[in-house]
Structure 1
Amino acid sequence: MTVRTRFAPSPTGYLHLGGARTALYSWAYARHFGGTFILRIEDTDLERSTPEAVQAILDGMKWLGLEHDEGPFYQMQRMDRYREVIKSMLEAGTAYLCYCTPEEVEAMRERMRALGEKPRYDGTWRPEEGKQLPPVPEGVKPVVRFKNPLDGEVTWTDVVKGPITIGNKELDDLIIARGDGTPTYNFCVAVDDWDMKITHVLRGDDHVNNTPRQINILRALGAELPQYGHLPMILGPDGQKLSKRHGAVSVMQYPEQGFLPEAMLNYLARLGWSHGDDEIFSMAQFTEWFNLEHLTASAAQFNPEKLAWLNNHYIKQSDNERLAGLARPIMEREGAQFEGAPPLAAVLGLMKERTNTINELADAAMLFFRTPNPDAALLAQHLTDAVRPALAQFAEKLQTVEWSKPALSAAMKEVLAANGLKMPQLAMPLRLLVTGQLQTPAIDAVLELFGRETVLARIQKGL
């Protein structure tokens, strides 16, 4: 059997973390077995589906690097196929025309609620042997209903939740085509999974109630059933369902906030699956390890601090030129002056150890790309009469010293020893004059990057 998985979002909103995790698991399972990963856009909800949401889904998948092997397929482009299947089901007697108006169906449900029963369609137009159907009313466009089995149960072994059984009496004859002829969600999904030969369906557990309906439709079509796995929802840090109040909603907000795709993938992989105690791993390792046995049935909790920690790890592992490509547009918006400044990649290599996002990294690097404007009070505090002679001596040495971090460090120590000073007494005013701020990486590394000409000019101006 060739494994065929699919990710099938509805474009009624943006790609969120739960959807991205579903896509990741479906992609990884196909990759693990050398199978096929299919992208399908379920856009039959015409009122809520938007081109912007479709594009956001495609952008999110591209940013994450979850490449599909087939698709994207759009349900709205498959209408002829759905109508063909509905016609065959009407002919086979597994579907039928229903002329009840929405008002009549609602009245049925109200009567059942009043009797304490589950509200449902009562089967008025369901054809049965020996049953007399009502006369066809004029001017009513019929819907098409699926003839759901009246007895028995639908049972499947969910790869996440274990055995699940739902009685057919719980399911009424759902509408598979509306009065205007457009097919409905559960019907389209079943036909698509059949036509696309899907072997494994991984999706959120909000779809559990759809599964028995889709199984019954597939059985009526004589189709082979896929295996189903329903992933528990992702909770926010407060234990409530992840929502807007927890921060980013769309996956595409995360690159805007300075997160790397490999950090997001690594984080999502662990939100419902585990491989021993492994926390950090590549996507190659993940696809090698991924299986359905280690999916957890309990809800995972989103932890922004953990994501930031992982992002810091991947920033430190990243090529400095790549980081420069990501940080430069941010810095340009902040007015960074790149002409005559140190190479951006080298600066980011120095600054990246302590930053959790690209945005933080860009902000930290700005000290190399703007004119320093030290606070006058801080200068008066640190650039004292006791320090000025030592600073002048250091500037003298900088005229001829080899411009390397070890040589700059050695020159500074010589000046400190000659003047009986401690490192902060010289380093603090140096930082203020050269960068305009007191907090920087190691001062010798900072001076090396700025270059002899810039450092000397800023010290002389301060003196």
Structure 2
Amino acid sequence: MTIRTRFAPSPTGYLHIGGARTALYSWLFARKHQGRFVLRIEDTDLERSTPESVAAILEGMAFLNLDYDEGPFYQTRRFDRYREVLSELIAHGHAYYCTCTKAELEEQRAAQMARKEKPRYDRRCRELGHGPSPEAVVRFKNPLTGEVVVDDAVKGRVVFRNDELDDLIIARSDGTPTYNFTVVVDDMDMDITHVIRGDDHLNNTPRQINMLRALDAKPPAYAHIPMILGEDGARLSKRHGAVSVMQYRDEGYLPEALINYLVRLGWAHGDQEIFTRAEMIALFDIKDVHAAAAAINPKKLLWLNQHYIKTLPAADIAERLRPFLVERGADPAAGPALTDVVLALRERAKTLVEMAAQALFFYHEQVTIDDPKNQAILANAPHAALTALAEALATQSTWTREAVHATLEAVATDQGLTFGKLAQPVRIAVTGSSVSPPIDVTCALLGRERCVSRLHAAVAQSLAFREARP
């Protein structure tokens, strides 16, 4: 048997990280067993489904590199097939037309609640033999006795009594099929062997199994994974920060880090924290997924992201950094090689957004010194030493990190300063900030012309800062 899994999002919004984790687990299970991974877009909610949401889902899958073997399939293109199966169920006595009005259903519900019963459809149309009509819906004739046993790979054995399940609507009065019915037809037609999805679908499972059996189809194996919670233990929402895959991308997270983070939200292999994609495929087992909900840990994600920034090839990170610099108005061609900048910055940058912010000074002609603390440092800086350094660097024959370092030390000694007393105002002068890579590395990357120009500009600015002090 060929293992076949599917990811079936509804295009009513962005790709949520909970959905992304479901897609990842389904993808890993298929890849581990040399199976097939199917992408299905469940877009039958015509009022809420949008092309923009479809694009966001496809973009998110591409960003995470979760490639699919078949699809994307769209449910809205399969309405003829759903009508065919619906007719089959009706013809074989497994479904029936129901003409109960909304008012009648509300009256039933109110009476049941008054009797402290579970509110559900009372099946009054089940044996009346109604035919199709403009106001009629189609309901599945659920078995009245017996049980549905779900041997869930995550939840364990779950038993549902058929007399607790109502006859759910599988086609609306306008003929459009409902979610539970389309899922059944699709899973049957696509030969899905394993359904991995959120545990909010667990209560749908017995109904779907009963429909599959009515169609003489073998139900797939199920694994219902728990939801992801916020740090406070509440259901994950926008108030907890980023929840969209593409929002994480825009905030400078790498797909390698996000995938590594998501796989560990509910699954573990000993104490191992870092996994290559090949290791995930080899080690992942859906039976090892925890039944309890996992809570997000933004600090762990940042740690993972920095790990990948530091360990992936610098040239690779450089290409990913490029659009973040362009977005911030920098021209990556107007400065040092991006790979060299990555090597200088990646020990301290946790995201590509942070790295881009730290790299901007390399690609601007001049820098501004806005921080009052940095202005005060420059106001008190040894101006003669800064001027002497600018003159020494302007005539320096070799421009390397080592040569710049030697010149800095020589000027500091000549001016009676420690290296640190000179380095900090120099850093502010050439970067506009009090934080940067080592000053010799920074100057070597920045280039002679910009270093000298910025040192002269800083001396002039420092005098203005000094005069402006109260």
Q: Which moved more, 1:243-252 or 1:19-28?
A: 243-252
Q: d(CA) in 1 for partners of 2:82 and 2:43?
A: 14
Q: Which moved more, 1:157-166 or 1:139-148?
A: 139-148
Q: d(CA) in 2 for partners of 1:346 and 1:212?
A: 58
Partner of 1:198: 192
Match among 421, 424, 432 for residue 425 of structure 1:
421
The two structures, once aligned, show a CA RMSD in angstroms of: 2.1
1:372 is aligned to 2:367: yes
1:274 is aligned to 2:294: no
Post-superposition Cα deviations, 1:214-248, rounded to whole Å, max 9, x if no partner, equal: 01001111111111111101000111000011112
Q: d(CA) in 2 for partners of 1:356 and 1:138?
A: 62
Q: Say if 2:412 and 2:422, in contact at 8 Å, map to a contact too.
A: yes
1:95 is aligned to 2:95: yes
Instruction: Report the alpha carbon displacement of residue 419 of structure 1 after superposing the two structures with TM.
Output: 4.5
Matches within 5 A, 1:321-360: 321-336=315-330, 338=332, 340-360=334-354
Partner of 2:436: 440
The one-letter code sitting in structure 2 at the alignment partner of 1:74 is Y
Aligned length: 454
Post-superposition Cα deviations, 1:271-317, rounded to whole Å, max 9, x if no partner, equal: 01111111111111101111112100010001111111111111112
Partner of 1:265: 259
Q: Which moved more, 1:321-330 or 1:163-172?
A: 321-330
Q: d(CA) in 2 for partners of 1:443 and 1:222?
A: 73
Unaligned runs of 5+ in 1: 128-132
Partner of 1:45: 45
Q: d(CA) in 2 for partners of 1:75 and 1:38?
A: 13
Q: Which moved more, 1:232-241 or 1:248-257?
A: 248-257
Match among 443, 452, 458 for residue 448 of structure 2:
452
Q: TM-score if structure 2 supplies the norm length?
A: 0.91
Q: Say if 1:272 and 1:299, in contact at 8 Å, map to a contact too.
A: yes
1:114 is aligned to 2:114: yes
1:225 is aligned to 2:224: no
3-state DSSP of counterpart to 1:156: strand
Q: d(CA) in 2 for partners of 1:265 and 1:338?
A: 28
The one-letter code sitting in structure 2 at the alignment partner of 1:373 is T
The alpha-carbon distance between structure 1 residues 290 and 180, as it changes in their structure 2 partners (threshold 3 A), is same
Partner of 2:181: 187
Q: Say if 2:390 and 2:452, in contact at 8 Å, map to a contact too.
A: no
1:406 is aligned to 2:402: yes
The one-letter code sitting in structure 1 at the alignment partner of 2:319 is G
Q: Say if 2:253 and 2:351, in contact at 8 Å, map to a contact too.
A: yes
Instruction: Report the alpha carbon displacement of residue 31 of structure 1 after superposing the two structures with TM.
Output: 0.5
Partner of 2:22: 22
Q: d(CA) in 1 for partners of 2:376 and 2:202?
A: 65
Q: d(CA) in 1 for partners of 2:394 and 2:50?
A: 62
Q: TM-score if structure 1 supplies the norm length?
A: 0.92
3-state DSSP of counterpart to 1:39: strand
3-state DSSP of counterpart to 1:456: helix
Instruction: Report the alpha carbon displacement of residue 404 of structure 1 after superposing the two structures with TM.
Output: 2.0
Q: Say if 2:389 and 2:408, in contact at 8 Å, map to a contact too.
A: no
Matches within 5 A, 1:26-175: 26-127=26-127, 133=128, 141-175=135-169
Q: Say if 1:99 and 1:140, in contact at 8 Å, map to a contact too.
A: no
Q: Which moved more, 1:296-305 or 1:90-99?
A: 90-99
Q: d(CA) in 2 for partners of 1:76 and 1:340?
A: 50
3-state DSSP of counterpart to 2:71: strand
The one-letter code sitting in structure 1 at the alignment partner of 2:200 is D
Q: Say if 2:392 and 2:407, in contact at 8 Å, map to a contact too.
A: no
Q: d(CA) in 1 for partners of 2:351 and 2:108?
A: 57
Post-superposition Cα deviations, 1:7-44, rounded to whole Å, max 9, x if no partner, equal: 01111222101100000000010000110000011111
Q: Say if 1:101 and 1:140, in contact at 8 Å, map to a contact too.
A: no
Q: Say if 1:401 and 1:408, in contact at 8 Å, map to a contact too.
A: no
